[in-house]
């Protein structure tokens, strides 16, 4: 989303709707494939995600794939009586390690 080819950055997002498909490694695989495409096909330099502090599974997947937390907008989301932070994480092209595209092209 929001791909900026001039500054070579984008915002990434995804949603795994079926609960039965969660915790199966699908999120990690999709994240790696999206990063691979963004960095090695679209030639992006920086990819960022925006999530919420209650979405710990998303943050864990992103950390596993190399994202680093770069900031929080504190108590910016209110659901009922609960307040949550908006969490921003990003990854640079040189930090991405799991390229399938590079392996295929180097053969």
pLDDT in tens, 43-73: 999 999 999 999 999 999 999 999 999 999 9
Distances in Å between the Cα of 73 and the Cα atoms of 8, 29, 50, 53 are 24, 28, 10, 10
Q: How many Å apart are CA 97 and CA 99, to the nearest integer?
A: 6
pLDDT reported for residue 21: 65
What is the pTM for the complete model shown? 0.86
Rg (CA), the chain: 15
Distances in Å between the Cα of 61 and the Cα atoms of 4, 19, 23, 105 are 24, 16, 10, 26
């Amino acid at each position: 989303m929001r791909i900026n080819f001039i500054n070579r950055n984008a915002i990434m997002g995804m949603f795994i709707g079926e609960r039965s498909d969660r915790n199966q490694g699908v999120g990690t695989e999709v994240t790696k494939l999206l990063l691979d495409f963004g960095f090695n096909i679209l030639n992006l330099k920086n990819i960022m995600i925006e999530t919420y502090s209650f979405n710990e599974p998303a943050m864990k997947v992103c950390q596993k794939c190399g994202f680093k937390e770069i900031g929080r907008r504190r108590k910016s989301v209110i659901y009922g009586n609960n307040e949550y932070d908006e969490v921003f994480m990003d990854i640079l092209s040189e930090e991405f390690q799991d390229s399938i595209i590079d392996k295929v092209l180097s053969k």
